[in-house]
Structure 1
Amino acid sequence: MPIYAYACSSCGVQKDVMQKMSDAPLTVCPECGKETFTKQLTAAGFQLKGNGYYVTDFKNKPKAECAPCASAGSCPMAS
């Protein structure tokens, strides 16, 4: 079951609630009792690790030089 973050706009209380995805969102604040308890938008908390993922496959490969950099020996666009 996912954990959802809720916050009350009246009293400011914040709470994480474990609910089924099919459950209706909570609206009544457990602290003040007003109907100002809303679900908050949060970021996912996971990372992709191991072979086959972008972070490990391309992390240490050297960058290709552009044609002006290779011929001049340094990047003329860097200044």
Structure 2
Amino acid sequence: MPIYEYQCNDCEHELEALQALSEAPLLECPACGKPALYKKVSAAAFRLKGGGWYETDFKTGNKRNLAGDGAKPDTKADKKPETAS
């Protein structure tokens, strides 16, 4: 279940709620009791690392993008030989 962030328009109270995707958004602020909550747009604050995740188990060669590995993909551009006219 995802964790959603909410903020009250009236008292600016912020909270997080663990809710199923099928649940209706929260409306009533627990701090002031008014129906002024809105769902904030936020990004996940974690990265899945280690074995068992797509990034480490199914990618091969230079396609890996692991945090802190220092490897950079091959960025050499193919150069066409110059022809004399």
Global fold match (TM > 0.5): yes
Q: Runs (4+) of structure 1 moved beyond 6 Å? A: none
Query: 1:36: which partner in 2?
Result: 36
Listed as ranges, the gaps of 5+ residues in structure 2 are 50-55, 80-85
> C-alpha displacement at 1:46, in angstroms?
4.0
Instruction: Tell me the number of residue pairs that the alignment of Structure 1 and Structure 2 aligns.
Output: 68
Match of 2:2 in 1: 2
- Alignment counterpart, residue 55 of structure 1, candidates 59, 65, 68: 65
17-26 vs 44-53, greater mean Cα deviation: 44-53
More helix per residue: 1 or 2? Answer: 1
Report the identity percentage: 35
Which structure 1 segments of 5+ residues have no match?
68-79
1:14 aligns with 2:14: yes
Instruction: Work out the CA distance in 2 between the residues paired with 1:61 and 1:23.
Output: 42
What amino acid maps onto 2:3 in structure 1? I
Structure 1 residues 61, 19: CA separation in 2 closer, same or farther (over 3 Å shift)? closer
CA RMSD of aligned residues (A): 2.6
Shift of 1:20: 1.2
TM-score under structure 2 length normalisation: 0.61
Name which of structure 1's ranges 7-16 and 36-45 shifts more when overlaid on structure 2.
36-45
- DSSP 3-state at the match of 1:55: coil
